[in-house]
Amino acid sequence: MGAQGTAILNFGAFPGASDTNVAVTGQAAIVAGSLVEAWIRPVDTADHSADEHMVETLRVLAANIVAGTGFTIYGFNTSQLNEPIIVPGGRGGKVDRQTQPTMGGVGTRLYGAWTIAWVWN
């Protein structure tokens, strides 16, 4: 095994973002052909509990290896909020097909810091 550790993936202050990344550096022995893996580690941060780490719709992956330097961890929110389309003056929240919808299908964001574990070999 080459090395292992943790990194903090930060989506910023609320309302946050749908994706972010963090560079892991100081990996002098890493080579372009190294295998790198990253996963969510359920450990409390200032923003989120360990339980939140276990249920959040966060996907992480490691890519872009730079030999002798490190790699990048990417995080994406995989959730999409597909609320019903609501039309002002609509009947009981139903879609009025004769008018233009005003909201619906809004994507969601994550905020704050998340603990990510990584390993490469």
Each residue of 30-67: b (16+ CB within 10 Å) or e?
Answer: beeebebebebebeebebbeeeebeebebebebeebee
Residue 92 scores a pLDDT above 90: no
Burial grade of 11 (CB within 10 A; 0-12, 13-18, 19 or more): buried
For residues 30 and 65, the answer to whether their CB atoms sit within 8 Å is yes
Domain tally for the chain? 1
- Which domain covers residue 33, as residue numbers? 3-120
Percent of the chain with pLDDT strictly greater than 70: 76
| Bridge partners (DSSP) listed for residue 63 | 72
For residue range 35-71, list pLDDT tens digits in order: 999 999 999 999 999 999 999 999 999 999 999 999 9
| Whole-structure pTM value | 0.78
